[in-house]
Amino acid sequence: MIVLAIVAIGPMAISRAVQLVGWPLERQGGILGRLARENATRNSTRTAATASSLMIGLALVLFVTVYANGLRASTNRIIDHTLLADYTLQSSDGTSPIPPATVEAITAVPQVQAVASLTSAEGRLGHSGLVTAEGVDPSTFGQVYRFDWVKGSPATLAGLAPGDVLVEQDTARSAHLSVGERIPMTTETGLQSTVTVTGIYRDQALLQGFVLPISVFARIFHQPRLQAVFVRLAPGADKAAAGHELDQALRPFPGVLARSTQQVKNVVAGHVNSVLALFYALLALVVGMSLLGIVNTLSLSLHERTRELGMLRALGMTPEQTRVLIRDESIITAALGAIAGVVLGVLLAWIVTLALGGDGVVFALPILQVLGLLVLGLAAGVLASVLPARRAVRLDVLEAIAQE
């Protein structure tokens, strides 16, 4: 609705917008800047439509850029807050399970203080839908992972016994669960058992369903392989040397990697950057289409003003001044689309991140990317003016004056 509203009111607001955008050109270029500004407002509907194509493309890409930047920032914040481990064992492809034998292999590394594994499967808790069930070792998991307790404490995790579960806040809310309540737990295969809710926590990272002891998890869900293994080093340990020792210990398991906290962040950022690359490819197509639109608008405008250009050339306008005039017209049109696109993209990203604030997504404005996209839009205007300006310079003055 916001995009449609801007497109609809564009022709009505184009005169004022062109006056504001063209003011620096008029101040610097004098009469040429004024002519360029007035020419851009001759057909306000056409100018607005041409600028709108660039605006929508830039707004879309900038929206994704700002949202992705906020997603990276929130992910890094969540990792820093929840992950107490120095290294995380993950599969190289990010999806394959980890063999349980890796736990024994890395426990033998001298500088390792604690090792905690995590298993995962789908299940239902009470009247909840299908959520993620996580199996952890209550005696060690608190040393590598920080819980944000709503009702409970680290002692609640340490005292987690067979028949007990810890429930994430959103799951507890959707299933109407409270601490002390006894409810049925159902696996994907339909196996049921009764458990007691002993704690409720808030989590936006790994544990978004419910947690139970890994011994019970292995017996009920029949999932012997691990999703991740967390390693905490002893105080004063050399992290670089420990990382090398972990790599050596994992040589019998070629599909498993030991990643530091920063490397885990880089992997997550890499996934986000892959999505961004797709949208930047889309931006290239949009800018190319916008260039054609600006070229077409300028060419049509020059055709309508052929006699006027001939008169200006006869009165002494030089070829270089003609190029500057056409370039300024193109820059004004591109600037309208670029500025509106940047404002619209940032606004949409702010609205979406505000709505997703409860999921941990934050608004983080990437200043360099915003300025880069703005410069790219202006550069598109300069590039689009090359061919129309060349045509205007080659115009035969006498034929142009004689044209009706």
Please spell the DSSP secondary structure of 343-402, one letter per residue: HHHHHHHHHHHHHTGGGT------HHHHHHHHHHHHHHHHHHTHHHHHHHHT--HHHHHH
378 in the same domain as 296: yes
298 and 353 assigned to the same domain: yes
Q: Based on the domain organization, do 301 and 398 belong to the same domain?
A: yes
Those residues of the chain that have pLDDT short of 70 are: 29, 224, 359, 400, 402-404
Determine the 3-state secondary structure of 246 from DSSP: helix
Give a yes or no: residue 123 inside a domain: yes
- Clarify whether residues 240 and 277 are in a common domain: no
SS3 264: helix
**pLDDT value, residue 160:** 93
What does the pLDDT read at residue 222? 76
State which residues form the domain around 35.
2-78+268-402
pTM, two decimals, is: 0.69
Enter the DSSP assignment of 98: B
> In terms of domains, do 282 and 342 share one?
yes
- Nearest Cα neighbor of 327 from 283, 395, 288, 380 is 380
Q: Which of these three, 201, 225, 254, is where a domain ends?
A: 254
Q: Which residue has the tokens 């481990």?
A: 85
Last residue of a domain, one of 201, 224, 254: 254
233 and 281 co-located in one domain: no
Q: Is 135 among the domain residues?
A: yes
Q: Answer yes or no: is 262 within a domain.
A: no
Residue 372 Cα to chain centre, angstroms: 17
Q: Is 263 inside a domain boundary?
A: no
pLDDT of residue 334: 83
**Number of neighbouring beta carbons within 10 Å of residue 66:** 24
* Closest residue by Cα to residue 132 from 68, 218, 212: 212
Instruction: In whole angstroms, give the CA distance from residue 399 to residue 314.
Output: 11
> Is position 83 within any domain?
no
Domain's final residue, options 226, 254, 282: 254
Number of domains in the chain: 2
The H or E element that residue 287 is part of is: helix 261-304
Q: How many CA atoms lie within 13 A of 64 on its CB side?
A: 18
Residues 51 and 139 in one domain: no
Decide if 369 contacts 346 (C-beta within 8 A).
no
Of 83, 82, 148, 119, the C-alpha closest to 213 is 119
User: Do the domain assignments include residue 87?
Assistant: no
Which tens digit of pLDDT belongs to each residue from 42-88? 777 777 777 777 888 888 888 888 888 888 888 888 888 888 999 99
Are 280 and 200 contained in the same domain? no
For the chain, state the CA radius of gyration: 31
Per the document, the length of the chain is: 404
Judgement on whether residues 197 and 171 belong to the same structural domain of the protein: yes
- CA angle 148–151–157, rounded 5-degree value: 65
Residues 6+ apart with CB under 8 A from 59: 3, 340, 341, 342, 344, 345, 348
Q: For the residues of 186-231, what is the DSSP string, one character each?
A: EETT--EEEEEEEEEEE-SSS--SEEEEHHHHHHHH---SBSEEEE
212 and 161 in one domain? yes
Report how far apart, in Å, the C-alpha atoms of 239 and of each of 72, 85, 111, 139, 242 are.
24, 11, 9, 24, 5
45 and 132 share one domain: no
- Which pLDDT belongs to residue 29? 66
The pLDDT value given to residue 224: 63
Evaluate whether residue 84 is within a structural domain. Answer: no
137: in domain: yes
350 and 320 both lie in a single domain: yes
The DSSP line for 136-182 is E-TTTHHHHB--EEEE--HHHHHT--TTEEEEEHHHHHHHT--TT-E
